[in-house]
Amino acid sequence: MTSAPEPPEIRWGTLLLRPWSAGDASVVLTALNDPEIALWNASAVRTVEEATDWIVRRADWSAGDHVSLAVVDSLSGELVGSVSLHQIDHEQGDAEIGYWTAPAARGRGVASGAVTALCRWAFLQLPIDRIELCHAADNPASARVAAKAGFTQEGRLRQSYRYGDGRKHDELLWSLLRGDLPIDS
Ligand SMILES: CC(C)(COP(=O)(O)OP(=O)(O)OC[C@H]1O[C@@H](n2cnc3c(N)ncnc32)[C@H](O)[C@@H]1OP(=O)(O)O)[C@@H](O)C(=O)NCCC(=O)NCCS
């Protein structure tokens, strides 16, 4: 039996993590067709209608198995990224995290901040004590996000996932445990 969490708004510095809304469709369409995002977060979204479907799926939390949020720069109001917990397993008490940042917003702490903020929220609000992060071994920027967000690298999964180029890549597996983060409130 799973229970769906209430969609939150989470603030982390100047970042605001909020539920997806229909008005995000054109930004989502552009972002998902960025070559780097198409490679490492492949999803076949080619039209505004498909972007709207992508948003509708992420805005429906009823199954209780994911928490998907848009990342907004609260100073400019610009939608700058995506962060999500998926495969939330209430029995095992674990989940996986994924993310992307729009090209213009990269290199200023968006992904690492969003990952940190969502993990902290999740350890406080969900019955989980372990979050896994997996990325292609040849995606060093993602490895940097994992390290900056406090994850510990656990190993290399050989030829474990087919990415947007149609090839299977080795992946690096990282984890964050509830006890790794100082959470007092
Ligand atoms: C990976 C990605 C999410 C990072 O987003 P971001 O908002 O720029 O991340 P942050 O600013 O928090 O941190 C990025 C770090 O990676 C570093 N970095 C960027 N490109 C790098 C590269 N080619 N090699 C090594 N480090 C790199 C940055 O310097 C920064 O580290 P620093 O703060 O120590 O300087 C973004 O580049 C992206 O969306 N890429 C395409 C999709 C993707 O890879 N998604 C993740 C799938 S697992």
The reported pTM is: 0.96
* Segments forming the whole domain that contains residue 82: 10-180
Residue 4 has pLDDT above 80, yes or no: no
pLDDT digits (tens, 9 = 90+) for 36-47: 999 999 888 999
Q: How far apart are CA 7 and CA 14, in angstroms?
A: 19
178 and 129 Cβ atoms separated by less than 8 Å: yes
Q: Which residues pair with 84 in a beta bridge?
A: 68, 98
pLDDT at 184: 58
C-alpha 23 – ligand 1 centre gap (Å): 26
Ligand 1 pocket test target in 36, 110, 135, 142 with most atoms within 8 Å of CB:
142
Residue 185 has pLDDT above 60, yes or no: no
And the tokens for 39?
Answer: 């490679």
C-alpha 4 – ligand 1 centre gap (Å): 31
Tell me whether residue 175 is in a domain: yes
Question: Of ligand 1's atoms, which has the minimum distance to the CA of residue 145?
Answer: 13
Check which CATH number belongs to the domain holding 73 and give it: 3.40.630.30
Q: How far apart are CA 86 and CA 97, in angstroms?
A: 6
Tell me whether residue 5 is in a domain: no
Tell me whether residue 2 is in a domain: no
Q: How far apart are CA 5 and CA 97, in angstroms?
A: 16
Tell me whether residue 3 is in a domain: no
Tell me whether residue 185 is in a domain: no
Tell me whether residue 171 is in a domain: yes
**Does residue 145 have its Cβ closer than 6 Å to ligand 1?**
yes
pLDDT digits (tens, 9 = 90+) for 8-32: 899 999 999 999 999 999 999 999 9
Total domains in the fold of the chain = 1
The radius of gyration of the chain's CA atoms, rounded to the nearest angstrom, is: 16
C-alpha 125 – ligand 1 centre gap (Å): 27
Ligand 1 pocket test target in 83, 84, 100, 157 with most atoms within 8 Å of CB:
100
Tell me whether residue 91 is in a domain: yes
Tell me whether residue 27 is in a domain: yes
pLDDT at 5: 72
**Does residue 40 have its Cβ closer than 6 Å to ligand 1?**
yes
